[in-house]
Amino acid sequence: MAKHYFRLFSSASLVLSFMVLQAEVVWGQGGTERRKEMVPAMFIFGDSLIDNGNNNNLPSFAKANYPPYGIDFNGGPTGRFSNGYTMVDEIAELLGLPLIPAYSEASGDQVLHGVNYASAAAGILDITGRNFVGRIPFGQQISNFQTTLDQITENLAADDVARAIAKCIFFVGMGSNDYLNNYLMPNYNTKNQYNAQQFADLLAQQYTQQLTRLYNLGARRFVIAGVGRMGCIPSILAQSPNGTCSEDVNRLVLPFNANVKTMINNLNTNLPGSRSIYIDIARMFEDVVTNARAYGFSVANRGCCGIGRNRGQITCLPMQTPCPNRDQYVFWDAYHPTAAVNILIGRKAFSGDPSKVYPMNIQQLATLNIETN
């Protein structure tokens, strides 16, 4: 199990992996060349947009460990909700890291460059996603990171661990399911309890506490992804009378994204020695859809794999035959982008300007000299 993996290594090998920069050019998976490592590791928290297998062994309806998921990924259907790469896969490569393993499967020296704790159907709120049964909410993901941290500090001095962790990237992408699989679900009472602003405030309050908990565990470099234009995903388009984006849904999530930006400013002010940045997923996605052809996409209003209207009424089923021209599709299934879009957004987050990633991009964050406490 993941919680035991750090016992496999000596202190020397862990210090080497965390503290020593690698060669100028190192070799990644399959013998492909990758660049110099910019950070020691990346720790990832989120939902199905970046889950890479943590739900595989859970009693959950939110799984993607079957074909045709992973049809364009070297490892096949690993549990990624994509035909290939997720956004964090691309970011890991740009940082010079190998692909980050799932917490549920990590073992051996795979874990030394970080761990992915993300879980499909997970939310900021623990009750989010219960329709899918098994999932790992953000709070539990943080507890899983704490287990990882406890295992590291069994073999290393606490000061060494703190210095190493402070150099690592902490990528967090939460919130989508708190709307799709909570607020907008008819069997939840949330919509009757809160209006849009009140719900966004509730999420921001909980989110702030959770990120502060990560800070108290040593995290110092936060990358926070906003929620995208959910009113334009195939699942929502399939419910629209004329097949167009639901502006009601798009407007619903605006207060959340606004709150997250404010939260990031507050974290940068109130958490000494830390720096948080915001990826404006909604703006990036709007740019991709609006300028789809300029980016090489010809289909932006239906999934590549799915059933029914906009191929979004039922998401991608086991052994279903997906579209052959996947790189021309914005959406892979009823809810998730194709690998082509994930790679594009990952690159924009890594090196984009402040209109897309604020107040600096991931590349700048990775190289920023932060005075840590």
Among candidate residues 17, 298, 336, 355, the one labeled active-site is 336
Q: Where are the beta strands (DSSP E) in 179-296?
A: 221-225, 275-279
Cα–Cα distance between 84 and 316 in angstroms, integer?
A: 14
The question of whether 274 is a catalytic residue gets the answer no
Answer for the pair 373, 102: CB distance below 8 angstroms, yes or no. no
Which residue in 282, 284, 339, 291 sits closest to 90, CA to CA? 339
Among candidate residues 10, 13, 48, 72, the one labeled active-site is 48
Residue carrying the six token digits 């990775």? 366
Cα–Cα distance between 112 and 13 in angstroms, integer?
A: 9
- Kindly report the backbone phi and psi dihedral angles of residue 188, in degrees, each rounded to the nearest multiple of 5, phi listed first: -100, 145
Among candidate residues 17, 298, 333, 353, the one labeled active-site is 333
Burial of 108 (0-12, 13-18, 19+ CB in 10 A): exposed
Neighbouring C-beta atoms of residue 178, cutoff 10 Å? 29
- What lies within 8 Å, CB to CB, of 338 at 6+ separation is 82, 83, 84, 304, 326, 327, 329, 330, 331, 332
Answer for the pair 257, 229: CB distance below 8 angstroms, yes or no. no
Answer for the pair 289, 229: CB distance below 8 angstroms, yes or no. yes
The question of whether 248 is a catalytic residue gets the answer no
Cα–Cα–Cα angle for 310, 71, 239, rounded to 5 degrees: 15
Range 11-20 contact pairs with CB under 8 angstroms and sequence separation of 24 or more = 11/155, 11/156, 13/109, 13/112, 14/112, 14/152, 14/155, 14/156, 15/156, 15/160, 17/109, 17/112, 17/113, 18/112, 18/160, 18/161, 18/164, 19/160, 19/163, 19/164
Cα–Cα distance between 299 and 237 in angstroms, integer?
A: 13
The question of whether 48 is a catalytic residue gets the answer yes
The interaxial angle of helices 87-94 and 339-351, nearest 10 deg, is 40
The residues annotated as belonging to the active site are 48, 333, 336
